[in-house]
Structure 1
């Protein structure tokens, strides 16, 4: 449960960080304090100051000063040679103090290191040969400091943990909202949206979630529409084929009209074949694993060849084709771009009236080559322009189906153009026809 709770992880992380910070700060503080002055030096310094005070006052008042020092856990005795020894000291321990002529303080016990209880002597504090012995016990003071530090640490941990626990609520609640919304989305509820008024990173995350939900909803609708359109496009020719074959089989259609209806069946099978080919090509392009083999070739020669191949179509309608081609080489997948030009030119022929003009014009500059394919037939309504590259979208559905169209050609063109990092634009106006422009970076 601990590993799964974000709030507990935040609180425990805070406690660990505080503990590590305090340990490091104590260590650094101790390091610097030891470098500056050791505890032994402090003991000696205090003892030297007390000895100086005792030198400056009358011998009769020394006991009063020593009694005052007991309030600070410092006990002291002034001794001479032969006098009783305080603090359970032995003659051997005091001998160095009484026999020296120096006046510097010295330790007269055998303790080493940062011991809070030490015995220190100062020889010859006056001209009578008296020596001072002090017993400094800082144990209580150190315990008070330690207790204060421990209480401060516990207070910091408690108050800090409480505050971070409250602050974690601000973090955990949005995460729980996102988790709940994600679970609902996983069940198929793509209409869910998160309401919030946050302006921070959590607000951006929720906005991104809402945007993702909107896009998924659009994709889901596109999928449903796609399935519906595919079903319709497949069902329509199958229905025709089944109806005509059954009519021929049952003798409803006279023998002299068999060829006519067999031709319709043949056209419907071609329509099914074309639809399946387009669907497979789109699926391959969508998978981003479509074979892509860019080579360098002459674009003007490719356009000229596509137009010559389509000559039976445009001569049948008595169309005039005007070419402005410039020698220019590009690096692209030859077969994919062949499909692009075939689709656009066949569309231009299909939607042109008899005796109209089709223009194929190339413009080349230092950055790109622009190919304009224009027909002067019926224009595309302005309201339809944003959707002409959508799958199964047909401006004139009845005419497109009668011509064998299924609304996938321009979708494939768009995919191929984007695969090559190129752009395609379309302009259409009454009296001027429709112009598709493909820009290919050089």
Structure 2
């Protein structure tokens, strides 16, 4: 609803006439100075020129004032708009909506705050996506063994099954139960390591003996596939968490055994220099494609999902191994070619301050 135009007040009229008087007086003063150098024209033209100069001064000052007032008013309006956008963005973020982006304005003096809120929204959105992916992956990994267990348990109710069939179904149920237990165990270990809930216990121990013992422990797996296990271990001791590092070698050797065909070769080579030790686990397996190598340490990532599930993997072994190596201030790097095998190189500091 439009408001009716109000007539100007008496004070406004007085101020307007006062301004006119001032500017015309200024125009008279300027012309008087000019006439001092050029000479005085007839009185009629004197009044005309003085009035024109006064009018020009009045219009010029009024235009500049209006421009300044307009810019000031626009700045205030933009400030209020930006404040409203910032408040709205923070409210949406607080409510869990991270799809927020605020455009910056050149005239706004707090663009650093705007950039900060945009960055917060982006980072929180990425974390939310990771959380959703994690929940989806965990649900998928749990659902698969539970479906198998439920299905084969239902089949066991059939009284006509032979002893051989029952044993086969029970074997599948047992294997799926172990896979479910391993998934839960790995998730708990990863969570404990990332939150510091499982402090590392550094001791000095013989790394070559540990690798030799693990290779012998896994002999039933690699000997069944007629894989040749070759070890070349330098005699050396390191400082580290013996139990956690054992999981690194078990995970890596298990993967090598899984993906190396019958009659293949697995080599474990341990060397050192003055400060570091390097363990290389080399297999002659199926290899990893270049586009997959950048993802293999991500949780639940599987190069070949159907084949890895058939072999009992859950996509957490390499994530766990990488985390343990990093906690020891080391590095783990893969090198692989399709059908040419894979090499994992683990570099660890030889001597670590005992914590």
Tell me the TM-score normalised to structure 1 length.
0.57
Corresponding residue number in structure 1 for 2:280: 372
Tell me if structure 1 keeps the 8 A contact 2:248–2:324. yes
- Residues in 1 aligned to 2:128 and 2:160: alpha-carbon distance in whole angstroms: 44
The residue number in structure 2 matching 1:234 is: 142
- Are positions 1:402 and 2:316 aligned together? no
Q: Choose the corresponding residue for 1:392, options 296, 300, 306.
A: 300
CA contact (8 A) 1:379 1:430 kept: yes
Unaligned runs of 5+ in 2: 1-73, 351-355
Answer yes or no: is the 8 Å Cα contact 1:371–1:437 preserved in 2.
yes
Per-residue deviation at 1:167? Answer: 9.5
Change (3 A) 1:368 1:199: farther
Structure-to-structure mapping, 1:269-280, within 5 angstroms: 269-280=177-188
8 A Cα contact 1:324 1:361, kept in partner: yes
Q: Is residue 425–residue 437 contact of structure 1 (8 Å, CA) maintained in 2?
A: yes
Establish whether residue 283 from structure 1 lines up as the match of residue 185 from structure 2. no
User: Do the aligned residues in 2 keep the contact of 1:370 with 1:439 (CA within 8 Å)?
Assistant: yes
Deviation at 1:295, TM superposition (A): 1.2
How far did 1:402 drift?
A: 1.2
Q: Does 1:263 align with 2:175?
A: no
* Unmatched segments (≥5 aa) in structure 1: 1-165
1:190 to 90, 94, 98: 98
| Alignment pair present for 1:298 and 2:236 | no
Provide the rounded CA distance (Å) in 1 between the counterparts of 2:145 and 2:188: 18
Contact 1:380–1:428 (CA under 8 A) maintained in structure 2: yes
Instruction: Pick closer, same or farther for the CA change 1:229–1:427 going to 2, 3 Å.
Output: same
| Contact 1:427 1:434 (C-alpha < 8 Å) held by counterparts | yes
Q: 1:260–1:434: structure 2 CA closer, same or farther, 3 Å change rule?
A: same
Distance 1:208 1:298, change over 3 A: farther
Matched, 1:323 2:244: no
Structure 1, 245-254 or 284-293: larger mean CA deviation:
245-254
Rate the CA distance shift 1:379–1:263 in 2: closer, same or farther, 3 A.
Answer: same
**Does the residue aligned with 1:242 lie in a helix, a strand or coil?**
helix
Task: State the match for 1:225 in structure 2.
Answer: 133
Structure 1 pair 351/173, CA: closer, same or farther in 2 (3 Å)?
A: same
Taking structure 1 as reference, are residues 216 and 358 closer, same or farther at Cα in structure 2, changes over 3 Å only? same
* Displacement of 1:184: 0.9
Which shifted more, 257-266 or 179-188?
179-188
For 2:335 and 2:85, locate their aligned partners in 1 and report how far apart those are by CA, in whole Å: 46
Q: How large is the Cα RMSD of the aligned pairs?
A: 2.8
Are 2:323 and 1:415 aligned?
Answer: yes
Shift of 1:209: 3.5
Greater RCO, 1 or 2 (C-alpha within 8 Å, sep 6+): 2
TM-score by length of 2: 0.71
Q: CA–CA distance in 2 between the matches of 1:175 and 1:217?
A: 22
* Cα deviations by residue, 1:105-127 (Å, 9 ceiling, x for unpaired): xxxxxxxxxxxxxxxxxxxxxxx
Distance 1:257 1:171 in 2: 76
SS of alignment partner, residue 246 of structure 1: helix
Could you give the per-residue CA deviations for residues 21-53 of structure 1, whole angstroms, max 9, x where no partner exists?
xxxxxxxxxxxxxxxxxxxxxxxxxxxxxxxxx
Partners of 1:208 and 1:369 lie apart in 2 by: 43
Q: Distance in 2 between matches of 1:337 and 1:167?
A: 62
Match of 2:341 in 1: 433
1:174–1:202 Cα contact (<8 Å) kept: no
Aligned length: 279
1:249 to 2:119 alignment: no
Q: What SS does structure 2 have at the residue aligned with 1:371?
A: strand
- Distance across 2 between alignment mates of 1:416 and 1:177: 44
How far off is 1:441 after superposition? Answer: 2.5
Q: 2:217 aligns with which of 309, 320, 336?
A: 309
1-side partners of 2:322 and 2:309: how far apart?
Answer: 21
Distance (whole Å) between structure 2 residues aligned to residue 401 and residue 306 of structure 1: 24
> 1:390 & 1:198 partners in 2: Cα distance?
41
Q: Helix, strand or coil: the match of 2:156?
A: helix
- Residue 348 (1) aligns with residue 256 (2): yes
